[in-house]
C-alpha cells in the first residue's frame, strides 16, 4: 500500500511538472498587432511601411526583452479578437480600462496621455472651458461642474469618435442623452467629416490632436476644452496580451520600465508628439 501511494505521488509530481513544462513558453518570436492608422502613435507611410511612436518604441522594447518581433497591421476593432484567436501575441496602443481587463491582460503602461475635443475654427462649437489645462475626471468636485458646462455647449451637436474606444464610452456616458454620437473606423475619417461640417466636434487622444494640428491642411482645426483623464478613459496606454501569459508580461514589463528609466520613452514621445508621455511607476 505504501509503495503504491509512493508511485502515485511520483506520477502526480511528474504529471504536474509536465503540465508546467507544456504551459511555459520560450518566447523567441513575438507577433505584435498595430492598427497603422492612428498617427503619431502608428501609421503607414507612402511606402506602406509602419511608422510612429509605437513602432520606434516596440523595436527598442523587443531588443530589451531579447525577442524577435514581427509587426502586423489590423483594423482597430479586430485587434483584440485577433489577439485572443492567436493571430497576435501583443497589441499596441491599448488604453487600460475595466471593460478591457475582462478580456485581456496588460503590460504596465508605456505612455500616459490625455483626451480632448477637436473643433473647426469659427464653427458651431465655441471654445470650451479649461482649454489646454489638465483635468482628472476622478476629481468629481472639480470635474463635474466643468463637464456640465461642456455638456451645455454641446447640446444638440454631433460629436465624432472612433468606434470601440474609451473616447466613445466617455461621450456616451457624459453627453449621450443630449448629443448625436457618430462613430468612425479611424480618426482620419472622422476629421474629414469635421472639416466638411458634417459633424460639429471630435473627441480623441490629445497626442493625436497635437500631431494632426501640426500638419499642413489642418489650419482650420483647433483643440478645445480640458486635457482630460480618469473615469472610463483609457489614457494609460499599454500593450495587451492574452490572459495568463505571465512570462511574456514579465519580459515586457521589465523592458518598459527600463526604457522609461533610460529616458527613451520621453525622447521618442517628444519626437512624435511634442509631449512627454513617460508613465509613472
Cβ–Cβ under 8 Å, residues 40 and 208: yes
pLDDT value, residue 69: 97
Altogether, the residues listed in the chain come to a count of: 281
* Topology classification of domain 115-229: D-Maltodextrin-Binding Protein; domain 2 (3.40.190)
Q: Which CATH number fits domain 27-112+235-273: 1.10.540.10, 3.40.190.10, 3.30.365.10, 3.40.718.10?
A: 3.40.190.10
Measured between alpha carbons, how far is 40 from 53 in angstroms, rounded to an integer? 6
Look over the chain and give the mean of its residue pLDDT values, rounded to a whole number. 91
Per-residue CA distances from 3 to 6, 15, 17 (Å): 5, 18, 21
pLDDT category of residue 11 using cuts at 50, 70 and 90: very low
Instruction: Please determine, for residue 14, whether its predicted confidence score (pLDDT) is greater than 60.
Output: no
Q: What are phi and psi of 212, to 5 degrees?
A: -70, -35
Q: Is the pLDDT of residue 74 over 80?
A: yes
Extents of the domains making up the chain: 27-112+235-273, 115-229
Tens of pLDDT along 142-192? 999 999 999 999 999 999 999 999 999 999 999 999 999 999 999 999 999
Determine the Cα–Cα distance for residues 57 and 110; give it in Å rounded to an integer: 9
CATH topology of 27-112+235-273 equal to that of 115-229?
Answer: yes
Please give the pLDDT value at position 24.
54
| Residue 7: band (very low, low, confident or very high) from pLDDT cuts 50, 70, 90 | very low
pLDDT of residue 275: 84
pTM, 2 dp? 0.73
- How confident is residue 280, by pLDDT bands cut at 50, 70 and 90? confident
Rounded to an integer, the average pLDDT of 66-91 is 97
Residue, of 274 and 78, whose pLDDT is higher: 78
Amino acid at each position: 500500500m505504501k509503495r503504491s501511494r509512493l508511485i502515485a505521488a511520483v506520477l502526480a509530481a511528474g504529471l504536474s511538472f509536465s503540465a508546467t513544462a507544456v504551459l511555459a513558453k520560450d518566447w523567441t518570436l513575438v507577433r505584435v498587432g498595430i492598427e497603422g492608422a492612428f498617427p503619431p502613435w502608428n501609421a503607414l507611410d507612402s511606402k506602406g511601411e509602419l511608422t510612429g511612436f509605437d513602432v520606434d518604441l516596440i523595436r527598442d522594447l523587443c531588443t530589451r526583452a531579447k525577442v524577435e518581433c514581427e509587426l502586423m497591421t489590423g483594423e482597430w476593432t479586430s485587434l483584440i479578437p485577433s489577439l485572443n484567436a492567436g493571430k497576435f501575441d501583443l497589441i499596441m496602443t491599448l488604453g487600460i480600462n475595466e471593460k478591457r481587463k475582462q478580456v485581456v491582460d496588460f503590460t504596465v503602461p508605456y505612455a500616459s496621455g490625455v483626451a480632448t475635443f477637436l473643433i473647426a475654427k469659427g464653427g458651431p462649437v465655441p471654445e470650451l472651458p479649461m482649454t489646454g489645462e489638465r483635468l482628472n475626471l476622478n476629481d468629481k468636485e472639480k470635474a463635474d461642474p466643468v463637464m456640465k458646462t461642456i455638456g451645455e455647449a454641446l447640446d444638440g451637436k454631433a460629436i465624432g469618435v472612433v468606434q470601440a474606444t474609451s473616447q466613445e464610452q466617455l461621450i456616451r456616458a457624459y453627453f449621450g442623452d443630449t448629443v448625436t454620437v457618430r462613430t468612425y473606423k479611424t480618426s482620419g475619417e472622422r476629421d474629414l467629416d469635421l472639416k466638411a461640417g458634417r459633424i460639429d466636434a471630435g473627441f480623441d487622444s490629445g497626442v493625436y490632436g497635437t500631431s494632426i494640428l501640426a500638419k499642413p491642411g489642418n489650419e482650420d482645426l483647433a483643440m478645445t476644452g480640458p486635457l482630460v483623464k480618469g473615469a472610463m478613459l483609457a489614457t494609460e496606454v499599454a500593450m495587451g496580451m492574452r490572459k495568463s501569459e505571465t512570462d511574456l508580461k514579465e519580459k515586457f514589463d521589465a523592458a518598459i520600465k527600463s526604457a522609461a528609466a533610460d529616458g527613451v520613452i520621453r525622447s521618442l514621445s517628444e519626437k512624435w508628439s511634442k509631449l512627454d508621455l513617460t508613465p509613472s511607476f
